[in-house]
Amino acid sequence: MITIRSLLLELSKVPEDQLEARMKSLILAYDKMCHLDCIKAPLNKLWKTIKKIVDRLHLQNHKDARCKVTYDPSTIPESYNTMIAEQTFSWFSRDRQPEWYNSEIIYARNMRDKYNALGLWSEYKFWRNKTKQIVDNSKKNYYKNMVKDSNDPKTLWKCLHSLNPKVKNTPYELATEDNNTTKSKKCIADTFNNFFTSCAEKLREQGSYTPVNKADFSNLSKFVKNKLHKT
């Protein structure tokens, strides 16, 4: 049996032309492999080529009959237990997730992704909404307890900063009059200034305007009178 951590270390040493054959020879044991099948795992394209087996105890208590077909109980050694794989998976995601992220969220997300992959939309929608509810409650409780119990200003400030992080704004690319793109604040400002200060002159040169003394303001007058009458 190998763990996810040792899997990454092992495959990092394999030449690219031998990678697929090596993946097919692996056996990965995990007590909830049926959930892991639906997550975006490392080397996702080859993930399904790995031979996978589920912990015997998990399978005996599992309610999904499809998993008992996918994972044959006769292939599961008695010695395989749930502890090693669960601890490894927690280690694998711990430094990549916020502190409010917990095992309940992991389970709900895996169920959501599982039913989405199977095309079972009723179950997928249920777990999608359930996941959002669990995430919202976990965030709420985490930040509430952080503010309530923390006497450490540094920790409290870190918590507040995570709610409203500073975002460094960079200007978008803008096409200048010469059809060159630029991110320079000065060039962008000059381009806008030139446009707005010259638009009236360009309209006059094109003759695509109506002189004020020939304009028809009847609709505008009617609109104003209607508003005055209502007030």
pLDDT at 103: 83
Q: Two tokens at 97?
A: 């997730």
Q: How many CB atoms lie within 10 A of CB 4?
A: 18
Q: Residue 2: which pLDDT band, with cuts at 50, 70 and 90? A: very low
Task: Tell me, yes or no, if the pTM score tops 0.85.
Answer: no
Q: What's the pLDDT tens digit per position in 111-153?
A: 888 888 888 888 899 999 999 999 999 888 888 887 776 676 7
C-alpha–C-alpha distance, residues 37 and 47, integer Å = 8
